[in-house]
Amino acid sequence: MADAIEQQEHYRSQSEKITHPPQVIALLRRLHENRILLRVRIPGVERSFNSLLLNLNPQRGYLLLDELNDEHAHRKALETGRLRVFGQHDGVEMNFNLSIRPARNRQGVGFYQAGLPDCIHYMQRRADYRVHVAMDMGLSVLLPLGEETLLDGQLCDVSMGGLGARLETGQEIRKGLIIPDCRIQLPEDPQSLQADLEVRFALPDEQHQVLRMGGRFCKLSSSDRSRLRKFVTQLEREMIRRRSRGSD
């Protein structure tokens, strides 16, 4: 079974539908602040077109999207009034629908105005497939930040390459931060895994008053790697059993 798991496709995706407004806004800010080139699809048109997120106004609940350069595509976009927008930043792929209307600034430059999307489909690309960890397992993740701060979180998913966790904290954690000597609890094992962790993303979930964080293992001993592999394999087997029972 372990060999079969290792032979899975090199890149897998875990997709998630983000509907909580603060999280939607946080993802849109990534696209806006990093000036990410967006791919836009128009209903009924086969090819895609490029655009940019020009402005984001969460207080008033709207965004501005650069007008399409292709005249035929522009007319079709106004005719349908709908666009599907795709963007990618730092390994995160996202897409969402917009209902648009035309607008111009004082200089006569055209753009589209749209309300903020109700949801964003979000995919984190990973070299290792992360397996979901049930909340009722109650596995803790301890993250030491300096000498005086120790964050206590709960493990959400795990792979040979990294983990996802929920942290009950107001502490700011930035992308790229290396957290040394993190400890991950394993079921029925008194000794925790210990690894250095690089923060890959951190998104606030104000509805549940937690911070959702994803990290990559950047230092893991061979003995801990073997224990981690055993744990991931057990989770995979349980997931396969549940799917088999569900298909009966």
- What amino acid is encoded at 131 in this protein? V
Q: 180 versus 204: which is more confidently predicted?
A: 180
| Shared-domain flag, residues 49 and 64 | yes
DSSP string, 111-167: EEEEEPPS-EEEEEEESSPPEE--GGG--EEEEEETTTEEEEEEEEEE-SSEEEEEE
Rounded to an integer, what distance in angstroms lies between the CA atom of residue 63 and that of residue 61? 7
| Residue 115 falls inside a structural domain | yes
| Shared-domain flag, residues 238 and 134 | yes
Any idea what the CATH number is for the domain that residue 164 is in? 2.40.10.220
- Residue 118 domain boundaries: 12-125
Closest CA to 154 of 170, 168, 173, 172: 168
Any idea what the CATH number is for the domain that residue 49 is in? 2.30.110.10
Helix, strand or coil, per DSSP, at residue 230: helix
Q: What is the pLDDT of residue 107?
A: 83
| Shared-domain flag, residues 118 and 137 | no
Closest CA to 136 of 187, 204, 190: 187
Mean pLDDT of 77-103: 90
The answer to whether the beta carbons of residues 40 and 68 sit under 8 Å apart is: yes
| Shared-domain flag, residues 63 and 80 | yes
Tokens of 101: 């209307």
Domain final residue, candidates 80, 105, 125: 125
| Shared-domain flag, residues 60 and 80 | yes
Tokens of 130: 């992360």
Q: Which residues contact 180 (CB under 8 A, 6 or more apart)?
A: 144, 196, 219
| Residue 5 falls inside a structural domain | no
| Shared-domain flag, residues 167 and 103 | no
Q: What is the pLDDT of residue 61?
A: 95
DSSP bridge pairs for 142: 152, 183
Asked which of 95-104, 178-187, 197-206, 234-243 is least confident by mean pLDDT, the reply is 234-243
Q: Over the chain, what is the mean pLDDT?
A: 84
| Shared-domain flag, residues 96 and 51 | yes
Q: What is the pLDDT of residue 128?
A: 62
Domain final residue, candidates 110, 125, 140: 125
Rounded to an integer, what distance in angstroms lies between the CA atom of residue 224 and that of residue 227? 5
Rounded to an integer, what distance in angstroms lies between the CA atom of residue 146 and that of residue 180? 9
Domains of the chain: total: 2
**CA-to-CA dists, residue 172 to 80, 92, 204, 215, angstroms:** 42, 20, 10, 15
Q: What is the pLDDT of residue 193?
A: 93
Domain final residue, candidates 74, 102, 125: 125
| Shared-domain flag, residues 52 and 152 | no
